[in-house]
Amino acid sequence: MVNTALVTGASGGIGLELARIHAEKGGNLVLVARTESKLNALALELKEKYRVEVTVITEDLSEHESAKRIFEQTERLGIQIDTLINNAGFGGHGKFHERELEAEQKMMQVNMLSLTSLTHYYLKGMVARNSGHILNISSTASFMPGPLQAVYYATKAYVTSFTQAIAGELIDSNVTATALCPGAVATGFVSAGNLEGVDLWKNAKSPRSVAEYGYKAMEKGNLVAFNEAPLKFMMDWVVPLLPRKMILKISRNAMEKTA
């Protein structure tokens, strides 16, 4: 049976590369994002190159009912989702009290609430079939507080915690949940989040390399996946031992703009 994956945020960056990787393996796809033209272009590419079936769903995951609409559409079309890749997400730079509250609320909706809803909708079917994979794109940001990106870091902490918790609930099944926690990645995230000038992105990894690592980790059923060994060591063994105020200082310095 062909494995069908639903990928959110599939119009660019890590999501686009994850869609390509899945198609390369002969899997069908449901592509979800806000920009229909980009999704249609990617769908055409994947159909022609890999002879897979691709469905495009244009939705804005910052809208409260968007996850429900996506699920209902796949149900109407009779599409069984075997792999759920929750990739959509965005950040934003600046002091919390100076940022627009609406922007922070939309970030929480996309990064947490829509991700949670989609997982709930599709996980039920996976459990019933005793088969399936969930890949939630989180971040190394999930392991510490993030001054100047306070809400973004907090949303990713939720994603990493939530993913591990449901993985623990699925331990006796053939359904897996994996949190991919990359560091800086060279995507549109930088411009969308007003992060130009932050030194952290000078050595950002390519979306393709991160997607390849994450996809393999998902296939293996890994719990938390770091695409860089130094980051894994830092988050697992160094950060937990540092004083909280030192972590805050390090975290803030990493987000300060130098240009």
**AA letter at 214:** G
CA distance 10 to 17: 8
- Say if domain 4-255 classifies as CATH 3.40.50.300: no
Helix (H, G, I), strand (E, B) or coil at 143: helix
CA distance 195 to 205: 16
When mean pLDDT is compared across 115-129, 209-223, 227-241, the lowest value belongs to 227-241
Is 152 labeled as catalytic in the residue annotation? yes
Tens of pLDDT along 161-173?
Answer: 999 999 999 999 9
The confidence score (pLDDT) of residue 202 equals 67
Tens of pLDDT along 73-92?
Answer: 999 999 999 999 999 999 99
- pLDDT-above-70 percentage for the chain: 92
For residues 203-223, one letter each, b for 16 or more C-beta atoms within 10 angstroms of the residue's C-beta and e for the rest, the string is ebbebbbbbbbbbebbeeebe
Active site residue: 121, 122, 152, 153, which one? Answer: 152
Tens of pLDDT along 190-232?
Answer: 655 565 555 555 677 799 999 999 999 999 999 999 988 888 8
The confidence score (pLDDT) of residue 240 equals 86
Confidence of residue 253 (pLDDT cuts 50, 70, 90): confident
CA distance 120 to 118: 5
Confidence of residue 248 (pLDDT cuts 50, 70, 90): confident
Tens of pLDDT along 16-73?
Answer: 999 999 999 999 999 999 999 999 999 999 999 999 999 999 999 999 999 999 999 9
Is the Cα dihedral 121, 126, 127, 128 positive or negative?
positive
Q: What is the mean pLDDT of the chain?
A: 92
Q: What are the residue ranges spanned by the domains of the chain?
A: 4-255
